[in-house]
């Protein structure tokens, strides 16, 4: 299902960001857009648990090296937060330990709040077109509010087709380390 957004009245950057990801991944759904927007504001903090390094290593070892996708993929309006795709990362033979260092430093530096995310998510909802997608996003919003705006997961469709393997970091931190 391709997301459908209206041409923006005021927020052209948000529109462009959503459209760029939608063009790369036309099967991106509301769950996937929500997750990207969540990460674009709150960064990698949610993944920085006691076993974050081990999970990174395990996922890194499980992906095949490839240069068929971007290494660095912007996910934020101000271009400060990015996804580092693990397949091209592995293809370039970059250091997983340094990537983990970038994740830790990024999580420490990001000061955004869940309220900041909720404000952005409201803007995203305003861009969604009328009709089918609007009904779906309203139903999704009921779930999101009931669970107090959790991180969420990628949709099964997105997982199956795109096999996402990435880590979220601040771009300046990544650039400084690599």
Cβ-contact 28, 136 below 8 angstroms: no
Say what the pLDDT of residue 17 is.
93
Structure tokens at 147: 């669970």
What residues of the chain score a pLDDT lower than 70? 1-10, 129-135
Say what the pLDDT of residue 3 is.
57
Q: What does each C-alpha distance from 118 to 40, 42, 50, 87 come to in angstroms?
A: 12, 11, 27, 31
Say what the pLDDT of residue 12 is.
81
Say what the pLDDT of residue 1 is.
47
Q: Which of 145, 95, 101, 121 is nearest to 42 (CA)?
A: 121
Q: Which of 155, 136, 167 is nearest to 63 (CA)?
A: 167
The whole-angstrom distance between residue 148's C-alpha and the CA centroid of its chain comes to: 19
Say what the pLDDT of residue 136 is.
79
Entry field: residues in the chain: 178
Q: What does each C-alpha distance from 164 to 9, 62, 168 come to in angstroms?
A: 32, 12, 12
Say what the pLDDT of residue 5 is.
53
Domains of the chain, residue spans: 12-173
Q: How far apart are CA 27 and CA 108, in angstroms?
A: 33
Say what the pLDDT of residue 100 is.
98
């Amino acid at each position: 299902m391709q997301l459908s957004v209206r041409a923006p009245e005021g927020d052209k950057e948000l529109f462009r960001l959503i459209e760029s990801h939608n063009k790369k991944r036309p099967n991106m759904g509301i769950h996937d857009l929500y997750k990207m927007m969540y990460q674009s504001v709150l960064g990698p903090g949610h993944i920085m648990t006691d076993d974050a390094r081990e999970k990174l290593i395990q996922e890194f070892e499980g992906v095949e090296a490839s240069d068929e996708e971007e290494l660095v993929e912007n996910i934020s309006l101000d271009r400060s937060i990015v996804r580092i795709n693990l397949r091209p990362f592995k293809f370039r033979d970059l250091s997983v330990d340094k990537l983990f260092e970038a994740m830790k430093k990024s999580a420490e530096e990001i000061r955004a709040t869940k309220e900041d995310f909720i404000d952005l998510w409201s803007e995203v909802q305003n861009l969604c077109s009328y009709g089918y997608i609007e009904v779906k996003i309203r139903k999704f919003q009921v779930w999101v509010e009931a669970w107090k705006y959790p991180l969420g997961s990628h949709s099964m469709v997105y997982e199956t087709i795109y096999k996402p393997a990435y880590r979220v970091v601040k771009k300046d931190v990544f650039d400084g380390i690599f």
